[in-house]
Amino acid sequence: MKPKSLSGPASILAMILAAAPCIAGEPARFELAEQYLKARSETLWYGLYLNKKKMGFVRWQLLSRDSGGSKSFVMLIDSSMKLIAFGQETETKETEEWIFEGGTPYRLVKAMRTYSSGGRTLTSLRVEVSGGKATAFIEEGGAGRTMDLGLLDSTLADALAADVWIGKNPAKGDRISYRMFSLRTLKQGQESAELLGRETVLMQGIETAVSLVRISPPEEGQEHTVRFDPLGRWLSSSYAGDVESRLEPEEAAQKIMVCHDLFTRGVVQLDKPLGVHPREIASLVLKVPAESARSIPRAPGQIVRFEGEEAFLHLGAGAGDAVAASESEIRECLEESLKYPLSHEKVKSLAQKAVEGAGANREKAARLVDFVFKFITKEYRFEPHSIFEIIELRRGDCSEHSYLFSVLARCAGIPCRVVEGLAYMGDGSPAFGGHAWNEVVLDGKWVQVDPTWNETEADATHIVLKREGKGLGWETLGNVAFRLVRVERK
């Protein structure tokens, strides 16, 4: 089976739309003047570009509503993107609607999010806030559930914090943090913004001071740079070098000219075949472009070493010491969340069946690798599925295998996370292609496993790029190539 990425279009939209916990410190919350809100009650359109080619658009809108004498402010964010993978075209759409009180401090009352692919709704949720406490109502794969989110302190001022801050004329190097609630993770934390500098540009014939700001959201978000006008409008942004959004007229923004083939884009060529089956490889050394190498994380059996200006990726034996799991990582990789409905009866019963009779976590992990490998019929599926659809359909590729494994492992008490990156595609076409697999904690150390290929220890051709949506995916690598330096057999 040809490998592929876990999330495709969703991972690119996540870089542009997601926000989550970031840094410590007291977050800023500015007062919103009525005049400012009137000025910002508008509709803005953005074109989305991958490698300077149009792939979709985002509409951002802030408006005031008055229903039966009750006033509210509503923020709408709609996005649409068209892409191709393995010659199969799909369109993904995402809609968020945020409803805030109509008067100071403009607290969040309700928020909704819908995500669809190929005309099929995959996730639909709403969050309701009452008395400062929030509850989420979620529909995925025909299964409904609720989540108690606890106390939630979120306002329109938080959503517009960076915009308002720019209007206060900060100095170069100034930095703020502010509260940010994410409908992707159902978590609230802090995001940060830092002013990198200003430049004067001509906008429709008028000299305008444009502020360049670094936005730093962690988890599913990707650090990016944004250009703001003096009022705090988002003019453009860039992510991972070649993913961009640009403020455009409505007609231009909606004119999607090119659909990208993510599989073709995600293939990294190798200068020569490995000449040995991946499972027979003890260690592998690849020369990689230095710029790309800086984005490759440390992982079990994986380390980048620089020799002068040249970068070499070491995989397998000799690739550094084992990677210990921190207490926070273990805690995070066992918790229930929007993505991981561990207390749902369907999940619990399947996990119990998969590890029945197994002893320690190492044996449970091996059982789970074999169980998931046999449970899912191998079939390429470009459109993502919820965990409930995966359990029902029992069909899929590496995305479904790695997701199901991670859910069942966590349910069985094994800290686990999905990783995405590259894996060798075979000597017939010497290249690395997008793939997804897992990391589990065994005896306090991270260990890579691949349930798609029934590997209790992932072979040395696996290259980790991101974990649970954090990091740079293969779809942002661009046109790069690796050179084979050394391969050693077991």
The 10s digit of each residue's pLDDT in 239-296 is 766 788 999 989 888 887 655 555 555 678 899 999 999 999 999 999 999 888 888 8
User: What residue ranges in 232-387 does DSSP mark as E strands?
Assistant: 234-239, 243-248, 260-261, 268-270, 281-288, 302-307, 310-316, 377-378
- Those residues whose C-beta lies under 8 Å from the C-beta of residue 205, and which sit 6 or more positions away, are none
Top-confidence residue, 174 or 204:
174
Interatomic CA distance for residues 236 and 147, integer angstroms: 35
Residue 155 pairs with which residues in a beta bridge?
Answer: 107
- For the chain, report the end-to-end CA distance as a whole number of angstroms: 24
Please report the pLDDT score of residue 355 as a whole number.
Answer: 96
pLDDT classification of 3: cutoffs 50, 70, 90: very low
Q: Which CATH class is domain 267-489?
A: alpha beta
For residue 218, give both structure tokens.
């962690």
pLDDT for residue 68 is more than 80: no
Mean pLDDT, residues 377-404 taken together: 87
pLDDT classification of 83: cutoffs 50, 70, 90: confident
pLDDT in tens, 404-448: 999 999 999 999 999 999 999 889 889 898 899 999 999 999 999
The kind and range of the H/E element at 392 are helix 387-393
pLDDT classification of 119: cutoffs 50, 70, 90: confident
Dihedral over alpha carbons 222, 227, 229, 230 (to 10 degrees): 80
User: What residue ranges in 183-266 does DSSP mark as E strands?
Assistant: 187-203, 206-216, 224-228, 234-239, 243-248, 260-261
Residue with tokens 């009750």: 70
Mean pLDDT, residues 159-170 taken together: 93
Hey, what amino acid is at 148? D
